[in-house]
Homo-oligomer: A and B are copies of this chain.
Amino acid sequence: MSPSPDTFLREAKHLVDEALDRYLPAEGTGAPQLADAMRYSVMAGGKRIRPALALAACIAVGGEDEAVLPYACALELIHTYSLIHDDLPAMDDDDLRRGRPTSHKAFGEAMAILAGDALHTLAFELVLARTADGNVARRLGATLAEAAGFAGMVGGQVEDIDAGGVVPDVERLQGIHERKTAALIRAAAVGGGIAGGAEDEQVVALSEFGMALGLAFQITDDVLDETGTAEALGKTPGKDREADKMTYVALEGIDAARARATRERDRALAALERLPSPELLVGLAKFVTDRDR
């Protein structure tokens, strides 16, 4: 029997936190303030949903989760670097993240920019230097880069900024969400499959699963920004509305957005039926869309 999503997330977080602690530069070494700033943001206690998805996807195709651990950590480093840069004064200008001062509040703006840059590079270093199989390492690195860059996360972030104050438009909104958030979540699922030795058609199923779950994840985030509390979220709620951001909530209201998240979640679950051992992924998909923070 598979563990419950709560139990699996706890175990995955333990495994990933322990590995991240090994992979990150030790406190006070090299450029000491840089090492501290890198650790401060990575070890701030995220839920490690992306790494957990990669581990679960690896298991879903019959792989050993050890094979995907460096990649799982790399996903978290890319996610963390993007949060540090997004929080900067020139971007979202956020003071609070995961319940603590943001990186630039704690270390200053220059160090926050550089800590983000160093985590960004370290993600690729991990995948390429620590994945056992050379060809798998290359495919994982390429998957990560495609999801993180112009065609994915960074491009989506720019489109999101450009869309501020514009009349909401469902196609444009979906395009933003696909790149800004769903691309990296899809990369978590796809990379987990690649590391686990998935067949091509299994990779396709994981890609469909990841894209749909990524959209459900982002829509849920939009809803929580409207309905959540600072205490539960660990960040300031209501920022989207304040910033006049284009969101599903702004487009169609909270109830319709919740229904849309459920539809995407169900599409994600349907794709999993093509995998041999999808139980953990099923649990995670439900957890992600039912969360309150």
Contacts and interface: CB of A to CB of B under 8 A. Distances in A.
Interface of A: 25, 30-31, 33-35, 38, 81-82, 85, 88, 90-91, 108-111, 113-114, 116-118, 120-122, 124-125, 128-129, 134-135, 137-138, 141-142, 144-146, 148-151, 154-159, 161-162
B121 A155 contact: no
Contact of A85 (B34, B117, B128, B135): B117
Contacts of A116: 117
Given A118-B149, A150-B31, A154-B117, A128 B111 contact: no
Given A120-B121, A129-B142, A134-B138, A157 B114 contact: yes
A148 B145 CA distance: 16
A154 B120 CA distance: 11
A161 B110 contact: yes
Q: Which 8 A-B pairs have the closest CB atoms?
A: A121-B149, A90-B109, A125-B145, A31-B158, A128-B142, A34-B158, A118-B154, A128-B141
Contacts of A145: 121-122, 124-125, 128-129
A142 B126 CA distance: 8
A108 B25 CA distance: 32
Contact of A138 (B110, B120, B128): B128
A34 B180 CA distance: 14
Given A90-B113, A121-B150, 11 more contacts: A30-B151, A82-B117, A90-B108, A90-B110, A116-B117, A120-B120, A125-B146, A125-B149, A128-B138, A135-B138, A137-B138
- Chain B CB within 10 Å, residue with most, of A35, A111, A137: A137
A77 B155 CA distance: 17
- In the complex this chain forms, how many copies of it are found? 2
A88 B151 CA distance: 24
Interface centre among A129, A141, A162 (most CB of B within 10 A): A141
Given A125-B146, A128-B138, A118 B155 contact: yes
A88 to B, nearest CB: 7
B91 A110 contact: yes
B162 A118 contact: no
A175 to B, nearest CB: 10
A124 B148 CA distance: 11
Most interface-central of A33, A121, A134 (chain B CB within 10 A): A121
